[in-house]
Every structure is written in structure tokens, then in C-alpha cells.
Amino acid sequence: MRQEDNSSGKIVVIKVGTSSLVTGGRLDLEKVGTFCTTVLAGIESGMAPILVTSGAIAMGRTRHHALSATTPAASQAAAALGQGFLYSALRSHFAELGVETAQLLLTPSDLTDPERGDEIRPALELMHTLSVVPIVNENDVLGVRNNDVLAAVLSGYLRAGLLLLLTDVAGLYDQGRPLPGGQPRRIPEAVGGVAAIEAVASGPAGGSGTGGMLAKLSACWIATHAGVRTVIAHAADPSALLAAYQGDPVGTVFPPRPLSVDPPDLGRLWRAFRTPPRGAVVCGPLGVEAVERGRPVRRDCVTDVRGSFEAGDVVDIVGPDARVVARGGIRQAANSSSAPRSVLFNPSDYVQLLESSHVGD
């Protein structure tokens, strides 16, 4: 199973969602079998896959009735309990196919911190040399976040050739333009403005995961702004990986966006896109000019505040023409009464989104 080419184009980060591995809090053997054979086909085609798997929390909640609570502590404890069961089952299934795996628990900070990030890459490279497939999960005991976003940061960190988000739908569907009979249609390629694409996405569809389409789109923005082509596809389709890797029609494709800096600033991308926006600040012309010039955005540029958000939340910066011009982590809460010249966003906090509003067909 040894791959001979260690170039970044061979590296594929594959994230699989909770509902694509787990049913009723228990590992679904049929779903797991489909996933493992899909990955094996990728290996045999010369890919170097790195897997990011959800499902630990859902599995852990079944171990004790107290873990069904929605508190952060219950989720963290469920993750700690479920992770061992999830990895053990995946390890066993892959071993039956002759694939050796290794478990990694990471957070986005492990990859975006320059001091820590440089220590992870040699280990991943050695695993590749040994033909060991890494299975990564968010280290949720430190705080439950989102594996889609972790997979996106990881794909940018590795300069992967592809990020594949496997889920329980076949891609992004256009809710605004249904076909006759009221059926939405899948968008084959998502091109255009971030806000316009998000407008057609639905929220979480229920179940035991922590994702949902908007969270997946957040991951898409991180990956594509880091130069990584991204595809959302159905986990039940065993041909999805090969099709996505070869550029054949499958799911919804998110083309890479032009890099503003090379290598991409993953910390900045993570701060700007780690969650869907919690609100917006509307700026006058001076605020838009500050964004265009990559300067701090100050409170005296703001003409209106929308939504309820706290310091550190992801917030859109909107121009006077209602166009979203940037997104980032804001430094003050919505109800803050700070001085007019205080900084809301430093340049390292936001990413420009000076794009068209068209969503591609």
C-alpha cells in the first residue's frame, strides 16, 4: 500500500460526518464498510489519504445517561469516552483490508501556531512513508468545535490536492430555484460570493452531529482561500473519492480561490471563517476603504450593528450598499460602548470578500 509520490497533490483530506458512520449512537457497520472501501480505492489509485472522522460524541453519549445533557462538559466527556470506541472500530475495519492506521487528536491551534505546527508535519510525513493512514479527530475534551473546520485547516496546512467532505447529502442544493414539483437542484460548482452561496444553504438537518451545511461552507471558505479544491459529496457513493480526485462530476465543487499570500495565513483564515457569522457591522465608505487597503476597521466607521455577538465571534463587515466586503473575528461585543477610535478588526482578524454575488450553475 506504499505510495511512491509524496507531493502535496497526492494528499487528500477526507472528512466523514457523524451520520455517515453512526446510526442511533452506534457504529453502522454498513456505512463504515462503504467508507473504508472508498478510502482503500483511493490508496490503490495512488492517493495519500488523511482521514478526519466525526462520531465520537454521538457514540460516547450512549455510554451513560448523564451524557445526553447538552452541556459543554457532557459533550466533552462523551467525546473522551466515544473516541476510543470510534477509532478502535475503524482501525479494525481498515486492518481487515490490509490498511494500517494511526490516531491523531488535534485542534486548529495545533496547526496554526507556528511553534506547534512545525512539529506535526514530520510525524505525518513519516506516517506516509510507512504507508500508515492517519485518522484525525478534533480533541473535543479541550472544547467541542467542528471537524469540518479542522479538516479544512489541515488541508491548508498540508497544501492538499483535495478536501473531500463526505456527508448525508449529495452536495449543496439551490433552495431558491426549485425544479418543477418543488424539488431543489444540486449546484455542481459553487462559484461567486461567499454570502451569496451561503444564502442558498440550509442549516443543520438534525441528527447527532455538530455540523450542518453552513458549518461545511465555513470549512470550504478556509480550504479554498488556502488554495485547496474542495468537494462536498454523499458518503454513500463509493465512487465519490475517485471522481472528486480526478475532477469528474460529483457532489458540489468549490474551486480554490486566488491566494492573497503564499503560504496562506491559516490562523487568519481560521479566525475569519471558523463559524458562520453571528452578526454584521455596517460601515460607511471609510470602513470599506480601510478593508480595501488592509487597515484596521475602527468603531467610528460603523453606522449600524446587526445581531448579537461577543468579542471574538465571527462577524461580517458590510458596506453601505449592503455588500459583504469582509469577514473576521471582531474584538468587541455588539453592545460595547468603547471609544469611537477603538479597533474592531485588525487586518489579521479579517479576510476580504470583495466578490461578485453570482452563484454558479
pTM recorded for the entire structure: 0.89
pLDDT the model gives residue 79 = 87
In this prediction, residues 294-312 reach a mean pLDDT of 93
What's the chain's Rg over C-alpha atoms? 20
Place of cell 442558498: 200
Tell me the Ramachandran region of residue 24: left when phi exceeds 0, alpha when psi lies from -120 to 50, beta otherwise: left
In this prediction, residues 134-161 reach a mean pLDDT of 89
In this prediction, residues 315-340 reach a mean pLDDT of 90
- What digits encode the pLDDT tens for the residues 243-286? 999 999 999 999 998 877 778 899 999 999 999 999 999 999 99
How many other CB atoms are there within 10 angstroms of residue 20's CB atom? 23
Q: Give the model's confidence band at 4: pLDDT under 50 very low, under 70 low, under 90 confident, else very high.
A: very low
Question: Is the pLDDT score of 78 beyond 90?
Answer: no
Query: All domains of the chain, ordered by start, with CATH?
Result: 8-264 (3.40.1160.10), 277-352 (2.30.130.10)
Our measurement of the distance from residue 321's CA atom to the centroid of its chain's CA atoms, rounded to an integer in Å, reads 29
- What digits encode the pLDDT tens for the residues 156-215? 999 999 999 999 888 998 764 445 555 678 899 998 888 888 887 754 443 444 447 888
**Looking at per-residue confidence, does 261 or 153 come out higher?**
153
What's the CA gap between 319 and 315, in Å, rounded?
A: 13
- What digits encode the pLDDT tens for the residues 101-112? 999 999 898 999
Q: Which amino acid is at 201?
A: A
